[in-house]
Copies of this chain bind each other. A is one copy, B any other.
Amino acid sequence: MNTIGFALRLTIFGSSHGPGVGSVLDGCPAGIPITAEMVQREVDLRKPAPGIGTARAEEDVVQVQSGLLEGKTTGAPIQFFIANKDTDSSKYQAFRVTPRPGHADYPALVKYGQDHDIRGGGQFSGRMTAPLVAAGAVARSMLETKGIRIAAYSQAIGKVADDKEYAFPEIAENRFKHSTRAVSPRVAALMEKEILAASKEGDSVGGIVRCLMDGLPVGVGEPFFDTLDGELAKMMFAIPAVKGVEFGAGFSSAKMRGSEHNDPFRITNGEVRTETNHAGGILGGLSSGMPVDLKVAFKPTASISREQRTVDLSKKENAIVRVQGRHDPCIVPRAVVVVEAAAALVIADLSLRGGFFAR
């Protein structure tokens, strides 16, 4: 359903082409500093960049209609609403009969019937992540009161990958300098080229977002099932187009020996640290005190302007569909702030659960 989180609960609503999209964040302690401007700043980071992003021009003005008073949370639910302004629904009715490959159209029509709002993908739209980012701004502010910081970047776009092991501050400082959300200017240029090449061919590319969470206390996570990795993974798979999630050495762990994978503990500046971080900051579903290191794989945007093979559901025969409209040739750059917000919401929730916030 459309609510996630336990002690800090996010509910989203709206659809791509309805009146708007919004969210309610419940469980935030009173007294967290947050203003509409702080929220707007995050939401703006999700906007498409000229050239490499969609032409749909949404202002994405966030209205905060509950839960704030004089720059602080009151302890009541916080509500965000973002009106849809630039919608063109004319192109979508055809997809009720000829569902778009790679989209939710077909299973959604089977599940909800013809009452499903298919315009712009309806409730399955990537636009649902805008109010998630708004709520994430509150979670981020919560976490910053405890010295916890989160930063993500485009680690790979198409065939361009940046395998440098950046330290947290380098990522935090540079991640929003380039429209591709690459950390280095060199990689940024390559990634931009990769996107434009696909775009020119009426095609799209995927990529990988890497997200570091720094400053977590030890012990965040609620075993056996509500683990730090499990909760992060569940949240990430809610972001449209995500196909894989891994922590630390991730899939490459499979090929490693235990003697290599196990991160040795060491006392460093009086603190317990590990020499390496193959565990990605998580042991037994709990934060280990090392940075949480998450990678999220995105498939290429399903909407491409080329003709595609599909079926005609009414006639039960093969057909062709052409997806017109305005789309991002690569959603990875816009997804970077979404992954950060999503991570912030999970960390804030589990930190609340673990008693790391006095209430």
**B265 & A311 in contact (Cβ 8 Å cutoff):** yes
> Which positions 218-247 of chain A face chain B at CB distance < 8 Å?
218-219, 221-227, 229-231, 233-238, 240, 242-247
| Other 10 A-B pairs with CB < 8 A, given A103-B284, A111-B354, A259-B304 | A1-B224, A13-B65, A15-B74, A30-B113, A76-B123, A225-B238, A230-B236, A231-B234, A243-B280, A354-B359
Kindly specify which of A134-142, A177-185, A293-301 makes contact with the partner chain: A293-301
Q: Which residues on B sit within 8 Å (CB–CB) of A261?
A: 102, 206, 299-300, 302
Interchain CA distance A123-B26 in the complex, whole Å: 12
A215 touches B (CB below 8 Å): no
Given A107-B283, A266-B309, A302-B262, A233:B245 Cβ within 8 A: yes
**A244 & B237 in contact (Cβ 8 Å cutoff):** no
**A72 & B115 in contact (Cβ 8 Å cutoff):** yes
Interchain CA distance A124-B69 in the complex, whole Å: 16
Question: How many copies of this protein are present in the complex?
Answer: 4
Q: Mark A328-359, 1 if CB is under 8 A from B, else 0.
A: 00000000000000000000000001110111
* Minimum C-beta distance from A200 to chain B (A): 12
**A258 & B203 in contact (Cβ 8 Å cutoff):** yes
A270 touches B (CB below 8 Å): yes
**B266 & A278 in contact (Cβ 8 Å cutoff):** no
**B30 & A115 in contact (Cβ 8 Å cutoff):** yes
**B9 & A26 in contact (Cβ 8 Å cutoff):** no
Interchain CA distance A129-B130 in the complex, whole Å: 28
**B244 & A253 in contact (Cβ 8 Å cutoff):** yes
Interchain CA distance A225-B131 in the complex, whole Å: 14
Kindly specify which of A17-25, A46-54, A168-176 makes contact with the partner chain: A17-25
Interchain CA distance A248-B286 in the complex, whole Å: 28
Interchain CA distance A311-B21 in the complex, whole Å: 45
What is the chain B residue whose CB lies nearest that of A73? Answer: B115
A147 touches B (CB below 8 Å): no
**B218 & A159 in contact (Cβ 8 Å cutoff):** no
**B227 & A238 in contact (Cβ 8 Å cutoff):** yes
Interchain CA distance A355-B158 in the complex, whole Å: 39
Given A30-B112, A158-B255, A245-B244, A227:B218 Cβ within 8 A: no
Q: Which residues on B sit within 8 Å (CB–CB) of A30?
A: 112-113, 115-116
Given A13-B66, A15-B74, A225-B3, A289:B107 Cβ within 8 A: yes
Q: Can you list 26 residue pairs at the A/B interface with Cβ under 8 Å?
A: A1-B226, A4-B225, A13-B26, A18-B65, A19-B63, A102-B258, A104-B284, A106-B288, A107-B288, A110-B219, A111-B354, A111-B359, A123-B223, A124-B285, A198-B257, A203-B258, A204-B258, A206-B253, A207-B254, A229-B237, A233-B233, A233-B237, A245-B246, A246-B251, A254-B297, A261-B299
